[in-house]
Amino acid sequence: MPKNTLTITDNRTGKTYEIPIEHDTIRAMDLRQIKVADRDFGLMTYDPAYLNTAACKSTITYIDGDAGILRYRGYPIEQLAEQSTYLETAYLLYRGELPTRQQLDRWVTGVTHHTIPHEKIKNFMEGFRYDAHPMGIFVGTVAALSTFFPESKQVFDPEVRRITFYRGVAKTPTIAAFAHRYSIGMPYAYPDNELSYTGNFLSMMFKGTELRYKPNPVLERALDILFILHADHEQNCSTSAMRVVGSAQTDPFTAIAAAAAALYGPLHGGANEAVLRMLAEIGSKDKIPAYIKRVKAGEVKLMGFGHRVYKNYDPRARIIKRTADEVFEVTGKNPLLDIALELERIALEDDYFVTRKLYPNVDFYSGLIYQAMGFPTDMFPVLFAIPRVSGWLSQWEEMILDPEQKIARPRQVYLGEGERNYVPMEEREAVTATRS
């Protein structure tokens, strides 16, 4: 009868240890008993960038990166993109089950009731320079929400958590749209709660002098699909930031700001912006081979390609590609699409990308849709952050309620100097000179 254990022999001492295996993992703390001498600290694992470390147990999102599978609470992303709405998906992520009609109606009303931010938020945003990047404004303003809702610090109060979820999901599109309108000098458009979540967001972004903005239903639905696809993605960089900051029992608005800060980076949610800038820099199909050459020489990265988890086609990219066709029928084709398609074709045949299993990720085509819809390039990371708020808050709540979680605090392998005596200033030169 095979045993669900791992036997380790420490060749330094000849001692053997038997460690339980649960869910194909061993507990890193079980390694601490492995010592040479009693006063040793014990064995640790070394895993920079957490390539092979599970930091939590979760029931929210499942990814099989080799097979290109993504599911929220067990439901395939393809079915949700086809049949669900973003707010219903947010409910699913947060509550664990699809809502009944009545539950969904209450949920939508709950979110809709919280779309208007405090008027002082506008004053706060006006402190930014006129040309501030909207993601910078977003990060700063979301953090400021914690000062408007100090009760959000009561992280163990379920009622406070519920209302914080509504506020987070409801206010972030308003903040995002205000950030955009501020940066182009347009008066703010207040939420129109008669519209859908994405319809209202389009209205706050693009409303001109008309009394009521009428979103194009194809674009409204396409944005809703994009929001579903971006809602969660298990323990990525920004979600890990949310959990790490939240583990200190920091209020969730401040933790969302930290998560959004992580998302801002070009290797994460900032990649959609970087893809568009890359496609514009390439400029035409005939310049692609030269660009690929630079990628292979390690001079630049092919933005929107590669993923830590997916070693297959990102299932979200496949859905986005289909959605792009529907959007382009309304908006006209984005001229950069041909470059993107040709880039993908060449890359998927090239040995460099094939051997490294580099496929288009969620960000490769999303920017083309956003641009065709009229969103400026620097809004793209913000468009990623808005729907991810529901995922971040669901993951945060799971972390807060998990009895196994504590304040996140990794270990290090210290390789610096041993103890040495302080050197007075006048005696220092000789020491520092040897280092510079």
Q: Strand 5-10 and strand 61-64: pairing? A: unpaired
Nearer to ligand ACO, 167 or 307 (CB): 307
Nearer to ligand ACO, 114 or 243 (CB): 243
DSSP state of 150: G
Q: Does 110 bind ligand ACO (CB under 6 A)?
A: no
Q: Which two tokens stand for residue 21?
A: 């295996």
Binding span for ligand ACO by CB under 6 A among 25-33, 67-75, 148-156, 295-303: 295-303
Nearer to ligand ACO, 177 or 263 (CB): 263
Q: Collapsing DSSP states into helix, strand and coil, what is residue 201? A: helix
Nearer to ligand ACO, 19 or 55 (CB): 55
In this chain, which of 133, 307, 321, 388 binds ligand ACO, going by CB under 6 A? 307
Task: Establish whether 192 is a catalytic residue.
Answer: no
Strand partners, 19: 6
In this chain, which of 278, 303, 373, 379 binds ligand ACO, going by CB under 6 A? 303
CA distance 148 to 412: 37
- Let me know: does 90 contact 72? Beta carbons within 8 Å: no
Q: Does 305 bind ligand ACO (CB under 6 A)?
A: yes
Q: Does 304 bind ligand ACO (CB under 6 A)?
A: yes
- Please state the closest distance from residue 267 (CB atom) to ligand ACO, in A: 4
- Let me know: does 203 contact 195? Beta carbons within 8 Å: yes
Nearer to ligand ACO, 128 or 313 (CB): 313
Binding span for ligand ACO by CB under 6 A among 54-62, 200-208, 265-273, 280-288: 265-273
122 phi, psi to nearest 5 deg: -65, -45
Compute how many residues bind ligand ACO; rule: CB under 6 A: 18
Angle at 358 between CA 352 and CA 359, to 5 degrees: 130
Measuring CA to CA, how many Å separate 243 from each of 57, 147, 166, 238?
A: 12, 20, 19, 9
- Let me know: does 126 contact 181? Beta carbons within 8 Å: no
CA distance 281 to 326: 26
Task: Establish whether 268 is a catalytic residue.
Answer: yes
Q: Based on the number of CB atoms within 10 Å of its own CB, is 8 exposed (0-12), middle (13-18) or buried (19 or more)? A: middle
- Please state the closest distance from residue 90 (CB atom) to ligand ACO, in A: 18
Binding span for ligand ACO by CB under 6 A among 81-89, 185-193, 250-258, 294-302: 294-302
Q: Does 137 bind ligand ACO (CB under 6 A)?
A: no
In this structure, the number of other CB atoms found within 10 A of the CB of residue 40 comes to 10
Binding span for ligand ACO by CB under 6 A among 140-148, 198-206, 262-270, 277-285: 262-270
Annotated catalytic residue within 230, 251, 307, 378: 307
In this chain, which of 122, 268, 311, 318 binds ligand ACO, going by CB under 6 A? 268
- Let me know: does 140 contact 385? Beta carbons within 8 Å: no
Q: Does 202 bind ligand ACO (CB under 6 A)?
A: no
Q: How far is CA 169 from the centre of its chain?
A: 15
Q: Which residue is nearest to ligand ACO (CB)?
A: 306
CA distance 144 to 179: 14
Annotated catalytic residue within 268, 325, 338, 350: 268
The angle that helices 134-148 and 158-183 make with each other, rounded to 10 degrees, is 140
- Please state the closest distance from residue 306 (CB atom) to ligand ACO, in A: 2
- Please state the closest distance from residue 114 (CB atom) to ligand ACO, in A: 27
- Please state the closest distance from residue 384 (CB atom) to ligand ACO, in A: 7
Q: Does 295 bind ligand ACO (CB under 6 A)?
A: yes
CA distance 167 to 116: 9
Q: Does 294 bind ligand ACO (CB under 6 A)?
A: no
In this chain, which of 135, 228, 262, 302 binds ligand ACO, going by CB under 6 A? 302
Q: Which two tokens stand for residue 253?
A: 């608005």
Task: Establish whether 363 is a catalytic residue.
Answer: yes
Convert residues 353-392 into a mask of x (bound to ligand ACO by CB under 6 A) and - (unbound). Answer: ---x-x--xxx-----------------------------
CA distance 212 to 203: 8
Residues 6 or more apart whose Cβ sits within 8 Å of residue 132: 179, 183
DSSP H or E run through 301: none
In this chain, which of 153, 308, 318, 333 binds ligand ACO, going by CB under 6 A? 308
Binding span for ligand ACO by CB under 6 A among 177-185, 240-248, 299-307, 338-346: 299-307
- Please state the closest distance from residue 135 (CB atom) to ligand ACO, in A: 14
Q: Does 271 bind ligand ACO (CB under 6 A)?
A: yes
Residues that bind ligand ACO (CB under 6 A): 267-269, 271, 295, 301-308, 356, 358, 361-363
Report, as residue numbers or ranges, the catalytic residues. 268, 307, 363
